[in-house]
Chains A and B, each alone.
Chain A
């Protein structure tokens, strides 16, 4: 384990940014935190989490897929892909770090998504352990330990120091990059922080939320539940929950006519949108109830069924905080789970 005094953190950022592009969470004007490219004088946000998740780095909201040039009846295809530059994301929380594994299991299975892979290979993730979890956190429900975050390098921040531990080869490389500022140390302070945080975790409002009632093979049990109508009745059909969710990965492919060619790009899409499954001849998910159900069934049943009982939720709590009508996965789990208990 390595240590750096907190006041030297800016030097560490500067040193990192000399070699690679560095992104850190920083406060925006209106009270939310967001990842931004570091530049001199930028302050790291004190907030627990960024408003958007960190999935943008690997799965950006819009991304060029292919360009076409059209002349008469001829079509030329232009591959716009370029090798991504190396970059470092500093301060990713345990929940977001876990979400990368979930995205990996979608994008990095055969056929591998080369766009995602390109970014993933060039990104180094420095995670930061949580010490002040918020009321909307429930990562422990999905067996995530916020005091021991995954990622290439794990970091812990105490009142006076920041501690680092490399977990992967990429992480070792990063530590080597900034080693001139680091000193080796034992992790006594870190252990103390972990104990304190764990105590707080036990007191969180969702500490007792259990995922056991869900998982693969439960489609029949929940699909027809009468509770969906009640849960979805106030849903506005916006895409807030999906877009702030670190694990939502649905996308749309669209063409844009630039006037001198066609750019085909992909962009985030939301299963909550009415046109998500709309086809020329009809729509299998006609009302908001079906769309709402799809989102949660996917996270709690379909995904675990296809991916060894790993859930497509990391308990980051963003949907809990951001939903305009305060409907969220916790409420769904509690409501449907109750039914199960009966």
Chain B
């Protein structure tokens, strides 16, 4: 029995490291008071992070479950709670509860397949967990393609990790395709929006696509993927709506009859298409 699901009472987490990742995104490393990993999760699952007195919100856990030491959150500054989070320093205690929601089917539906992971902006956070999980269990998956775009080079989250680890020559069959929205100095990579880049790259369709990013990117990328022959059963995405309880009881994160916190946040595109367009 996981007490903090039943009671909505969180546990204390200690922020051991805060890293400014992009101008408006910070990365937070969190352990329990005992110095160990506070919660066990699977890629795609979320946790409720809170600063008491300020607020509580759902964030996806961006570290891979294979990381045994700590969990990480990648948080963009955009509201009341996140502004506060951006002000804290290492050593600050916060509260966490979870994990909530379902996970990407990394061990079943994804196993043995080629993966195409497409992310935009801070949308890399939930799929980074998938990427690192798959890299850890490299032999279970086929080729891994990662298309990641952001507004500018500075806005690319996890840039160091991408360059030093994912794009390292030692990686087996992991291909990273970076793009930024506008031309800028000291950038010789691709320039353009993610949906177009995906089409340009023209992937073969015998693989599973995982999408995460701003709604507008998802919309156009989805159309692009369908154009090059992907079926909805091959595409996964993850949603985010306002949540309070995390256990499907407070009643606000539903899309049709599905609760994003409990039945999601990961949806296969064909499941999502059956739901009303209210997210």
Contact = CB atoms under 8 A, between A and B. Distances in A.
Interface of A: 65-66, 68, 70, 73-77, 79, 81, 106-107, 111-115, 216, 219-220, 223-224, 249-253, 255, 257, 262, 264, 266, 269, 271, 276-281, 284-285, 290, 294, 297-298, 301-303, 305-306
A271 B251 contact: yes
Contacts of B95: 68, 75, 77
Contact of B241 (A252, A255, A279, A306): A279
Given A74-B93, A277-B253, A279-B79, 14 more contacts: A65-B7, A77-B95, A111-B5, A219-B275, A264-B52, A266-B250, A276-B252, A277-B241, A279-B241, A281-B78, A281-B79, A284-B279, A297-B256, A302-B257
B256 A223 contact: yes
A181 B36 CA distance: 61
A251 B244 contact: yes
B169 interface: no
Given A251-B249, A280-B82, A113 B242 contact: no
B223 interface: no
Contacts of A66: 7-10
A255 B55 contact: yes
User: Ordered nearest first, which 4 A-B pairs have the shortest CB separation?
Assistant: A280-B79, A250-B251, A302-B257, A68-B52
B247 A271 contact: no
Contacts of A276: 242, 252
Given A73-B91, A75-B95, A301-B257, A253 B251 contact: no
A284 B6 contact: no
A250 B252 contact: yes
A303 B92 CA distance: 41
Contacts of B8: 65-66, 253, 266
Nearest to B263: A306
Interface string B91-113: 11111000000000000000000
Interface residues of B, number: 41
Given A250-B250, A251-B249, A280-B78, A77 B9 contact: yes
Contact of B257 (A112, A253, A306): A306
Contact of A77 (B10, B91, B245): B10
B278 interface: yes
A265 to B, nearest CB: 10
Nearest to B11: A77
Contact of A253 (B94, B244, B256, B279): B244
B18 to A, nearest CB: 12
A99 to B, nearest CB: 15
B279 A70 contact: no
7 contacts: A75-B12, A77-B95, A224-B276, A271-B251, A280-B82, A281-B78, A281-B79
Given A77-B95, A264-B52, A302-B257, A111 B247 contact: yes
Nearest to B97: A66
Contacts, number: 121
A113 B250 contact: no
Give the secondary structure class of A's interface: mixed
A113 B9 contact: no
Give the secondary structure class of B's interface: loop
A77 B94 CA distance: 11
A318 B279 CA distance: 31
B56 interface: yes
Given A75-B94, A79-B7, A219-B276, A252 B82 contact: no
B242 A65 contact: no
B78 A302 contact: no
Indicate the member of B5, B52, B53 with the most A CB atoms within 10 Å: B52
A107 B251 CA distance: 12
A284 B52 contact: no
A141 to B, nearest CB: 21
B254 interface: yes
Contacts of A68: 52-53, 95
A223 B276 contact: yes
B2 A111 contact: yes
B228 interface: no
Contacts of B241: 277, 279, 284
Interface in B216-271: 241-242, 244-245, 247, 249-254, 256-257
B201 interface: no
Contacts of A107: 249
Given A75-B95, A279-B242, A281-B78, A269 B250 contact: yes
Given A75-B52, A306-B257, A271 B252 contact: yes
B211 to A, nearest CB: 18
Given A219-B276, A251-B245, A113 B6 contact: yes
B7 A114 contact: yes
A266 B244 CA distance: 10
